[in-house]
Structure 1
């Protein structure tokens, strides 16, 4: 998984795997979901990220045990 934030365009992108994107849908305003050819989710984009979260350039990662 890879997470990137581009402050110039204010987009946070989460990539789950490196499969080619076959289709992208904006399911809800500001949330774009990318799918592979089998319909599996490949990635997620959050548009206007700084308006939707406190600090899009900060990531906290925790593994629940």
Structure 2
């Protein structure tokens, strides 16, 4: 079995790629996270959906109390 060796350049390149990807993600619009606390104390968190979908879900939760 051939053993792969890493050079310091390839490790640095990998780190820079990770930083670049993280920076790119932070500049992209994020979907809102909404937490609703119902009268009975239960909480529901809605994340990763467009704002209109989040609003629709919140309305359904509030109608079902």
Task: Indicate the TM-score class for this superposition, using the shorter chain for normalisation.
Answer: under 0.3
Larger proportion of strand: 1
Higher helix share: 2
Q: Which has the higher contact order (CA 8 A, sep 6+)?
A: 1
Larger Rg, first or second structure (1 or 2): 2
Alignment TM-score, normalising by the size of structure 1: 0.26
